[in-house]
Amino acid sequence: MYDDVLVPTDGSEAVEQALEHAIRLATDHDARIHALYVVDQRIVTANSGDLHDEVVADLETQGDAAVTAVVERAEAAGLEAERVVRRGTPDTEIVAYADEAGIDVIVMSPEGKSPRERLRSLGSVSDRVADDASVPVFLIK
């Protein structure tokens, strides 16, 4: 039923709960885990010049660490895992990746809002993913 399970990550502790459920689901269905981190292009474009390059490098390093943590946990559970770091708007990129990669289900935490979203009350990435995804989205609190 599920061959590919997407776990979007921001590297926060909130992802841990979602990852536990995703690993159980993938184990039960002999599925592959896809770890996805999106470098938020809204933050990147707000900075220019030398600072821009530093911000991008820092966010990509954070992204690498976040997907590596998910992949290591999945592989320790005996699962195949893919690691992906993309640039863009997080909810849009998560939905696009799910469509492009043939994802069967998305498992994520609704708890993590970016600092920008908290300030502007834009709603959560998980709410927008749940609204826009063409596959089931499990929101794990």
Structural domains of the chain ordered from first start: 4-139 (3.40.50.620)
pTM of the model: 0.88
What average pLDDT score do residues 14-39 get? 96
Closest C-alpha to 59, from 77, 46, 72: 46
- Note the pLDDT tens digit of each residue in 52-111: 778 888 889 999 999 999 999 999 999 999 999 999 999 999 999 999 999 999 999 887
Cα separation, 9 vs 92, whole angstroms = 14
**What does the block give as tokens for 77?**
């559970």
pLDDT given at position 117: 46
Higher model confidence: residue 22 or residue 54? Answer: 22
Higher model confidence: residue 42 or residue 21? Answer: 21
pLDDT given at position 13: 87
pLDDT given at position 118: 42
Pairing state between β 4-8 and 105-108: parallel
Cα dist from 61 to 10, 30, 97, 133, whole Å: 12, 30, 20, 27
pLDDT given at position 53: 75
**What does the block give as tokens for 119?**
């300030």
